[in-house]
């Protein structure tokens, strides 16, 4: 069992945002009867979402504030509901552990620059009938004797068994080696140590790669777009020189450059690799093992709570221990297994981290602990407000009559009734939730100071 924490999804849109600080965390951005929402609240939610991109509109910031407000106001509405408050109390440990995982994930994120390697290569595919190693070595030697880039490009295109290298002379899209996981490590690891500009032979599965490192650059996120724009511009020139008839427009080049740069930034900020590595380090520093043989889906049916889940430093944690943090009475075994793998085991390990105290004392952890509870309460509130909503037969009939000959192509109502019912149920639920939210804002006099929201800065 590998520990790959699939952290609980926040019910927020994940926006492209800049973390640039335009004002202090204590600046009030919204008020409601009984409380306020600060810039620090907005920043914490953005940080917890794992996003750290470059742009955010005032409309998106406005929506973030509305999300925070919705959860807080719905939680206020549920403050007198004993049944729900008891449920929250029974699950408070689980919600706090979710907050711990989010806070650790953000805490471990680094601001190191991207390491981008530019590579030129020819692929010599292996042959069961004959060895092609010497062929690859001779090609590398011949390429290293050449001094003209044009000659090198032509020979690489001619010698490579890959159709994809013909138009670009074997120059692949610059690759991030600091991003994890590095799926090209079998090529990039040898090239990192190799002399720049010199072709080497890399013996890989299925092929020999005759490759050289053209450059190794350290780039900040804001430098990536210009870097890739320059690469795709040069690629377009090479393709035209090689005889490509279709013109590669500047707009296409710009679009490709933005896609690649944005993808790298998203992959870095959304990655759980730092958290995964930290968990693996804690495992190695302590006597840790999981009960791989003794655990099964049936172990979580409520009749084997004394089954141990894991052992750390000689102390075992059982299913009964895990159930102290979650109300398992209405959860299926599959859900409990997910909680065990994705929340309970990782959080137990993180409690042994030397950085545990500093993370728990952070503003982000405190914010997420409250946010998770409010989110859960809001979910219960919305459920109660919409649970009696029914789709009537008249609504189904009306929907069918309007679309009988276009969408349904004359099919009988009986064959499409369930699909119509589900569609109307979803539509009605969305409308109802929006209405409930608007009513909460009106009841508590929510006021957002939009003049304090500036595009590109949170």
Give the pLDDT of the chain (458 residues) as one tens digit per residue: 333 333 232 233 223 333 333 468 999 999 999 999 999 999 999 888 755 545 678 888 999 999 999 999 999 999 999 999 999 999 999 999 999 999 998 888 777 899 999 999 999 999 888 889 999 999 999 999 998 988 999 999 899 988 776 667 889 999 999 887 888 999 999 999 999 999 999 999 999 999 999 999 999 888 999 999 999 998 888 777 766 667 778 899 999 999 998 888 877 766 788 899 999 999 999 999 999 999 999 999 889 999 999 999 999 999 999 999 999 998 999 999 999 999 999 999 999 999 999 999 999 999 999 999 999 999 999 988 877 777 888 888 988 898 888 888 888 888 888 888 888 877 877 788 889 999 999 999 999 999 999 876 78
Can you give the C-alpha Rg of the chain in angstroms?
28
> What sign has the CA pseudo-torsion 240, 243, 244, 247?
positive
236 domain residue, yes or no: no
The answer to whether 300 and 338 are in contact (CB under 8 A) is no
Structural domain total, the chain: 1
The answer to whether 210 and 136 are in contact (CB under 8 A) is yes
**Buried b / exposed e along 180-194 (16+ C-beta atoms within 10 A):** bebebeebbebbeee
The per-residue pLDDT for 21 is: 38
| Count of Cβ atoms closer than 10 Å to residue 424 Cβ | 17
- Domain range for 309 is 287-350
Query: Cα(311)–Cα(299) distance, rounded to whole angstroms?
Result: 17
Distance of CA 335 to the CA centre of its chain: 21
The per-residue pLDDT for 439 is: 95
The per-residue pLDDT for 23 is: 64
Query: Cα(343)–Cα(95) distance, rounded to whole angstroms?
Result: 10
The answer to whether 440 and 77 are in contact (CB under 8 A) is yes
Residue 220 has phi, psi (to 5 degrees) of -80, 160
The per-residue pLDDT for 13 is: 28
The answer to whether 212 and 119 are in contact (CB under 8 A) is yes
In the structure, how many helices (H) and strands (E) does the chain have? 16, 10
> What sign has the CA pseudo-torsion 216, 219, 221, 226?
negative
Range list of H helices, 109-148: 133-145
Query: Cα(294)–Cα(271) distance, rounded to whole angstroms?
Result: 32
131 domain residue, yes or no: no
Encoded tokens for 131:
């060895």
93 domain residue, yes or no: no
- Helix axes 363-386 and 82-108, enclosed angle (nearest 10): 140
CA distances for 257 relative to 67, 131, 167, 253, angstroms: 33, 39, 18, 6
The per-residue pLDDT for 4 is: 33
Unique residue bearing structure tokens 């059982």: 318
311 domain residue, yes or no: yes
Query: Cα(329)–Cα(147) distance, rounded to whole angstroms?
Result: 73
Euclidean distance between the first and the last CA atom of the chain, given in angstroms as a whole number: 39
| Count of Cβ atoms closer than 10 Å to residue 28 Cβ | 12
The per-residue pLDDT for 18 is: 34
436 domain residue, yes or no: no
Task: Choose among 86, 34, 49: nearest CA to 440.
Answer: 34
The per-residue pLDDT for 10 is: 29
The per-residue pLDDT for 51 is: 58
CA distances for 371 relative to 65, 353, 376, angstroms: 13, 24, 9
292 domain residue, yes or no: yes
SS3 content of the chain, % helix, strand, coil (to 5): 55, 15, 35
* pTM metric for this prediction: 0.69
> What sign has the CA pseudo-torsion 197, 203, 204, 209?
positive
332 domain residue, yes or no: yes
145 domain residue, yes or no: no
């Amino acid at each position: 069992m590998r520990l790959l924490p699939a952290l609980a999804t926040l019910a927020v849109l994940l926006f492209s945002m800049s973390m640039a600080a335009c004002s202090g965390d204590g600046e009030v951005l919204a008020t409601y009867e009984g409380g306020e929402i600060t810039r620090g609240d907005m920043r914490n939610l953005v940080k917890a979402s794992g996003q750290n991109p470059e742009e955010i509109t005032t409309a998106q910031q406005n929506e973030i504030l509305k999300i925070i407000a919705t959860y807080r106001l719905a939680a206020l509405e549920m403050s007198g509901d004993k049944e729900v408050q008891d449920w929250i109390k029974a699950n408070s440990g689980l919600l706090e552990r979710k907050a711990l995982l989010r806070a650790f994930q953000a805490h471990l994120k680094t601001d190191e620059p991207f390491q981008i390697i530019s590579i030129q290569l020819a692929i010599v595919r292996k042959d069961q009938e004959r060895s092609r190693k010497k062929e690859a070595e001779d090609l590398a030697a011949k390429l290293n004797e050449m001094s003209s880039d044009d000659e090198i490009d032509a020979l690489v295109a001619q010698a490579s068994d890959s159709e994809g290298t013909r138009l670009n002379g074997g120059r692949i899209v610059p690759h991030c080696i600091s991003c994890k996981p590095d799926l090209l490590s079998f090529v990039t690891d040898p090239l990192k140590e190799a002399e720049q500009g010199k072709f080497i032979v890399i013996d890989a599965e299925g092929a020999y790669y005759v490759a050289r490192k053209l450059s190794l650059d350290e780039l900040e996120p804001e430098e990536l777009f210009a870097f890739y724009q320059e690469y795709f511009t040069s690629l377009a020139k090479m393709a035209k020189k090689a005889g490509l008839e279709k013109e590669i427009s500047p707009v296409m080049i710009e679009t490709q450059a933005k896609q690649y740069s944005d993808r790298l930034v998203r992959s870095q900020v959304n990655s759980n690799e730092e958290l995964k590595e930290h968990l693996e380090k804690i495992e190695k520093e302590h006597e840790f093992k999981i009960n791989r043989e003794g655990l099964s889906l049936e172990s979580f049916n409520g009749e084997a709570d004394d089954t141990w889940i894991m052992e750390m430093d000689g102390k075992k944690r059982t299913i009964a221990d895990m159930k102290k943090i979650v109300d398992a009475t209405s959860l299926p075994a599959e859900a409990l297994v997910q909680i065990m793998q994705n929340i309970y085991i990782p959080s137990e390990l993180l409690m042994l981290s030397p950085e545990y105290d500093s993370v728990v004392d952070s503003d982000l952890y405190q914010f997420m602990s409250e946010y998770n509870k409010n989110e859960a309460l809001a979910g219960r509130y919305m459920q109660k407000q919409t649970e009696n909503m029914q789709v009537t037969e008249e609504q189904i009939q009306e929907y069918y009559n309007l679309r009988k000959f276009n969408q349904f192509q004359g099919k009988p109502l009986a064959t499409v009734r369930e699909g119509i019912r589900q569609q109307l149920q979803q539509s009605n639920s969305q409308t109802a939730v929006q209405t409930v939210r608007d009513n909460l804002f009106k009841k508590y006099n929510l006021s957002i100071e939009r003049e304090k929201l500036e595009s590109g800065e949170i």
